Amino acid sequence: MLSPSLEDYLEEIYRFSLENSVVRVTDISKKLGVSLPSVSKALHKLNNQSYINYRRYGEIVLTDQGCLKGSYLVERNQMLQEFLSLIQSQCDIPAETEAIEHYISDSTIQSLRRLVTFFKETQPVMKPSFGLSVIRIKDNPNDEFAGPFPT
Distance of alpha carbon 115 from alpha carbon 51, whole angstroms: 30
Q: Which residues of the chain fall below pLDDT 50?
A: 128-132, 146-151
Identify the pLDDT of residue 130: 44
CATH class label, 4-69? mainly alpha
Task: Delimit the domains of the chain by residue range.
Answer: 4-69
Distance of alpha carbon 50 from alpha carbon 54, whole angstroms: 10
Radius of gyration of the chain from Cα atoms? Answer: 20
Is the distance from CB of 42 to CB of 101 less than 8 angstroms?
no
* DSSP for the chain, written as a single string: ---HHHHHHHHHHHHHHHH-S-B-HHHHHHHHT--HHHHHHHHHHHHHTTSEEE-TTS-EEE-HHHHHHHHHHHHHHHHHHHHHHHTT--S-HHHHHHHHTTSS-HHHHHHHHHHHHHHHHH-EEEEEETTEEEEEETTSTT-EEEES---
